[in-house]
Structure 1
Amino acid sequence: MNTENAVTGDFAARVADSGKTDTALRGDYSAVRADYTIDQGWDRYTDTDHAMWRTLYDRQSSLLERYAAPEFIEGLKRLDVRDAIPDFRRASDVLDKATGWTLVAVPGLIPEREFFEHLAARRFPVTNWIRKPEEMDYLVEPDVFHDFFGHVPLLAHPVFADYMQAYGVGGAKAIANSAQEQLTRLYWYMVEFGLINTKDGLRAYGAGMLSSRGETQFCIDSPSPHRVGFDLERVMRTQYRIDDYQQTYFVLDSYEQLMDATAVDFTPIYARLKTMAEVDPTTVLPTDRIFTLGTQGGSHKAA
């Protein structure tokens, strides 16, 4: 019996049962190492794959000046990856010089424990496959465009890079306290779908919206969602959906604010959260610092 493949098969089954996605995992998990990494296989990308990358890159980069945080734009420029799917080794050289991070290739979603361990060691897991042309506007799982274009540019920013490592270090404590869901919400709202207040107004820095043409515009322009000032416990209490645009976005004043909030011991926070009600994402609390009170009008399929 191939124990490694049995482990990955069990992981795939757990993902299917989790409610996070109702589809089978797409990546090839047959050759994963014990830490769920694989070789990127850059030489196996086709001309069609690289053309898809350029199309997605050009479409998203045309929105950045209006919608993206300046630190994200600067990080993307430093990486210089417009022309083809990035070679993770070359990108790792750029990141290592900037903040000590490297990239590792994975086949897609990986278990929480291994994900946390990679982040704690300043290794960011990036999916190695790219979507097909018919999936241009909607993809169930994160592909290389989401993972690289969305996440990697901010790893060149020293404070955000330190935050991502601190998040990974905190994973073991979340597992010990059966609080993975609360920690996942922090990642969802502040890494995937975070906004930051800049001198030019609210800007997006989260990977989930900046890799999605529709949500890049929605998160800033739409009157529908609430935009609420960041509060650690409020974020960790708030439920979320993966199959629609967000009904609430949380707004940072600075990346230092996020880093400082993460520096505390989460053990008493987890204990406190267990006694508190979860918050529906459509809800506004009396204690919220409101940037925008949304109309909550309509449903929008996420891209």
Structure 2
Amino acid sequence: MIHGGMTLEDKNYVNQLIPQKFRAKSFFVKENIEAENVLDIIKQNHLSYPVILKPNNGCRGRNVEIIENETHLHSYLKIFGNEDLLLEEYVDLRKEIGVFYIRFPNSEKGFISGVVEKKGVEVVGDGKQTLAELIKYNFRYHKFYPQVFQNTTFNENYIPEKDERVLLSSIGNHARGATFYDSSYKISDKLEDLFNEICSSMDGFYYGRFDVKFNSWRDLENGENFKIIELNGAASEPTFIYDPENFYLFAITEIMRHWDYMYQIAKINKEKGHRFTGREECWSLFKEYNPFSI
């Protein structure tokens, strides 16, 4: 990854680093492409709705959408089609986690430093309020009201029965209202063996977070019924820090711990002949990441 994936990495390129059998199908979509050409990609590769569209150079869930039908596809491209996109199959598996994997270049095997479980926007009915009201009056979800109901997938006036759970968005990122839970207690030898197997074929990969969808922990540990939907490199956050039960100082400590891992990896790589990113490159990278701050 360019600069180790520190910012705005090419998601299509990164996907190609992951063995196909482990990842969701994905296809590069050039900026300003005609909708008919995207429809051809969907047809030729035997994809079915829903599908995922997102920026090829994005971060923190920016403009990620579940595309439900052809009409939705046209409207998405009209708004967001002025940049390169990534079209992905929708992986219809129940659970989503982020697995932070680390391996030092002089070690044969790596380890998992933390696991985060992601849960989308979900409301619980009381038999009285409509879906619209359950979102509008929810402290966490109210600001996501426009996204939840923009494509009329859900009826705003539907009244869920008491204790009925309704999942309104399965997109597992903060930008779309997901809640993150620290599931690092789920780390096991079998889970680490699986990710050592996955990463052993990715030459030069030592640090990053895999976003994974799967059906059950047992299946995942056995390497069954799971798909990697994204991989992030040096800019990866140990997102288990965002568990509502965790404290600020815990988060800072974990970030510093992971930055130290990254430095140790870079130091070993430098001893092997690789170089650090120079100051001018870092400055250019900073401006690329945050052009409005200059």
TM-score (ref. length: structure 1) = 0.29
Larger RCO, structure (CA 8 Å, separation 6 or more) = 2
Normalized per residue, the structure richer in strand is 2
Larger Rg: 2
Normalized per residue, the structure richer in helix is 1
